[in-house]
Amino acid sequence: MLQQQQQFISYSIAMVTPFTKEGDLCIESIPELVKFYIHKLEAPGLLISGSTGEQHCMTIAERKQLYQIVGDTVSKDYPLYAGVAAFKTKDAIELAQAAQKSGFAGIMLGVPPYRLPSQKELKQYVIDVAKSIKLPIFLYNNPAGNGVQIEPETYASIASIAANVYGLKEVGDSANVKKVKQLLGDKARQHTFFTGIDEEYAEAYTEQGYTGITSVAGNVFPKEMKQAVEFLHMDQIEKGKELLASLVPKIQVVLDTGLLQSIKYILRKRGAPAGYCPPPLLEPTEEDKARLDAFV
């Protein structure tokens, strides 16, 4: 599903990170979990250490170790993308360089959480990280999670300076993608525009100009999500819309019962060493587990 002139595949799954019940990184579970995603979920590619991967629950050293183990587990040509957002620029650079050394195909760079950088500061942060590596980068705009929006003008300005910035994952204002594409002009064809909101992908693709997704729902509904994206990208729009619409109530159950906790519960029930969410997040209740068991 690699699109012409683009650096990233259009569909990948955002992998969870295995932790113990006490909240420690479960190193020994990582290789088998990666193999589960590749062989059981048939993930075309994986996003490691993003929001779904609870990246900020790990130390910088743990994230680097995670990259290395995942990179050692997959074949050299398997698409891996590393979330490298960090509180400090030097930490993001260290993470990006570690991912590159571990054989990753690309980088997802989010805004430093809680620090509320200005657009000027955000621009410099991205440029500094981009200069430190050769890998292609897509930025992650998640204003609800980080309190700061990457403005379309800021993205376009960054892309004109940093030659390896080739994409934007937009989960804020969906209209931003159209604005960015207008600002980029013909160069927009070289960029991938991701969403992370599975249930909205049909509209995002057909009306807003998005071209890919790093799927969260693919953890639970891997075949259906992959098929829906393929339908849309093959111009079988109605089939894609119908399939996604059928998933919406199921996705809502997972959201209602605690997104990450529910995903890990379902994966464990399916035999994956997905681990648990570090406290204060709690396991689904027995009532919620009964609802989730319908998807196992």
Query: Residue 151's closest CA among 116, 180, 185, 129?
Result: 180
Q: Rounded to whole angstroms, how far apart are CA atoms 130 and 166?
A: 11
Beta bridge partner(s), residue 139: 109, 168
Would you please indicate which residues are annotated as catalytic (active-site) residues? 140, 169
User: Are the C-beta atoms of residues 51 and 142 closer than 8 Å to each other?
Assistant: yes
For 147: left if phi > 0, alpha if psi spans -120 to 50, otherwise beta; the answer is: left
Phi, psi dihedrals of residue 215, rounded to the nearest 5°: -85, 135
β-strands 46-48, 11-14 pairing: parallel
CB atoms within 10 A of CB 219: 27
Is 52 known to sit in a ligand binding site? yes
- Beta-carbon contacts of residue 165 (< 8 Å; ≥ 6 apart): 126, 130, 136, 137, 138, 139, 158, 159
CA gap 119, 114 in Å, rounded: 15
Radius of gyration of the chain (CA): 18
Does an H or E element contain 202, and which? helix 201-203
Q: Which residues belong to the annotated binding site for pyruvate?
A: 52
Q: Which residues belong to the annotated binding site?
A: 52
